[in-house]
Amino acid sequence: MRRPKPNALRALIAGVVGAMSLLGAGAASALEFAKHVTDGDNINAIIVRGKVMPGDTAAFKAYLARLPAKPVTAVYLDSPGGSLEEGMTLGRYFHAAGIRTLVADAGAVCTSACSTAFLGGRDRETGKPWRAKGSAARLGFHSFRFDWPDRSYTSQDMSRAIAKTQNLTLAMADYLKDVDAGLEFLRARLRAPATGMHFMSNEEALSLGLYVLDEKTGELIRPEFLDRHPYRW
């Protein structure tokens, strides 16, 4: 039986979204939750920091249950990512509970599983998506990444890799539909190689329906703004 070379197998799977090698990591670097400086009488504002790990959604629900009921809940994300599966679980909860998502603090970075969870942001009152990127914050997406040892691979190995790739792509497409995010976000992921990162520009964010918070003026730029006016960051 002819055995595909390792590089051929890597090339086959490099264009898909995610970082599955983190799914089985321990909970030592789980997300941490704290009150954000914008917290007020009408808003529960929560800073969410750390690596996304299994069990974080349950921990966030428990944290939120201890807070007083307010009209608006918003999470400020600052995370390098982690478990893709947990990121989708967290994003689905944001969407179901009507929680706004922001990557807006100075120096904030939200990539990989964090940007997946970010897409779940929704406004509780209107029921519409509500996700905001700070004009100087970094919101990053990248393709799926698998770690393969250097050895020979059989055609059966390649078949399993193709099946895993198809399943992950379907899972991401289903997730985007569940949180009312278009397939344009899947394209944003595929734009970066598995070992790189696509950081979304403010213009691209607006074109995909995200809000952009101008960190110099504090103005919240709505997606439809650029249809009528140019904007200089």
Query: Which of the residues in the chain have pLDDT under 70?
Result: 1-29, 144-149, 161-162, 165, 194, 225-233
Q: What pLDDT, on the 0 to 100 scale, is given for residue 71?
A: 97
Q: What pLDDT, on the 0 to 100 scale, is given for residue 178?
A: 97
Q: What pLDDT, on the 0 to 100 scale, is given for residue 133?
A: 97
Domain membership flag for residue 229? no
Domain membership flag for residue 231? no
Q: What pLDDT, on the 0 to 100 scale, is given for residue 194?
A: 67
Domain membership flag for residue 76? yes
Q: Are 18 and 172 in contact (CB under 8 A)?
A: yes
Distance CA 120, CA 122 (A): 6
Domain membership flag for residue 230? no
pTM of the model: 0.81
**Partners of 45 in beta bridges:** 74
How many domains in the chain?
A: 1
Residue 52 sits in which domain range?
Answer: 6-224
Domain membership flag for residue 49? yes
Q: What pLDDT, on the 0 to 100 scale, is given for residue 10?
A: 46
Domain membership flag for residue 233? no
Q: What pLDDT, on the 0 to 100 scale, is given for residue 127?
A: 97
Q: What pLDDT, on the 0 to 100 scale, is given for residue 111?
A: 95
Q: What pLDDT, on the 0 to 100 scale, is given for residue 14?
A: 44
Q: What pLDDT, on the 0 to 100 scale, is given for residue 187?
A: 85
Closest CA to 119 of 194, 175, 73: 175
Q: What pLDDT, on the 0 to 100 scale, is given for residue 195?
A: 73
Closest CA to 221 of 232, 141, 25, 46: 232
Q: Are 67 and 91 in contact (CB under 8 A)?
A: no
Identify the CATH number of the domain in which residue 47 sits.
3.90.226
Domain membership flag for residue 159? yes
Structure confidence by residue, pLDDT tens digits, 87-139 = 999 999 999 999 999 999 989 999 999 999 999 999 999 999 999 999 999 99
Q: What pLDDT, on the 0 to 100 scale, is given for residue 202?
A: 94
